[in-house]
Amino acid sequence: SAVISQKPSRDICQRGTSLTIQCQVDSQVTMMFWYRQQPGQSLTLIATANQGSEATYESGFVIDKFPISRPNLTFSTLTVSNMSPEDSSIYLCSVGDRAGDGYTFGSGTRLTVV
């Protein structure tokens, strides 16, 4: 299965600033996903990123707040913009081309907004 490198692993940011999270995969994949895991909660899908097209956002998430780039088949970034303390969460990227294969997850970015 694919190996994912996600950076940074954690960060503490000031409110009103932005943080860009990187996800690098060791093989080419069509589908990349970004999830949010709020403290003590389950995972919620933010958006699906396909190479060469606009990301598809889930209900409750908008591009202005969470812009995503997908420049090639091995890399994606998620930016958390104009951060507030409510954005404090773990953000995870995930890859998988077929639902039946299961998905591989990065180790996550633990974000704290102060």
Partner 1 sequence: AQSVTQLDSQVPVFEEAPVELRCNYSSSVSVYLFWYVQYPNQGLQLLLKYLSGSTLVKGINGFEAEFNKSQTSFHLRKPSVHISDTAEYFCAVSFQGAQKLVFGQGTRLTINP
d(CA 81, CA 78): 9
How many chain residues bind partner 1 (CB under 8 A)?
24
Binding status of residue 96 toward partner 1 by CB under 8 A: yes
Q: Where are the beta strands (DSSP E) in 10-72?
A: 10-13, 19-25, 31-37, 43-50, 56-57, 68-72
Instruction: Indicate whether 60 belongs to the interface with partner 1 (CB under 8 A).
Output: no
Q: Which stretch binds partner 1 (CB under 8 A): 15-23, 72-80, 81-89, 92-100?
A: 92-100
Whether 78 and 104 have beta carbons less than 8 Å apart is answered as no
CB of 82 to partner 1, least distance (A): 26
* Residues engaged in binding partner 1 (CB under 8 A): 1, 4, 6, 31, 33, 41-45, 48, 92, 94, 96, 99-100, 102-108, 110
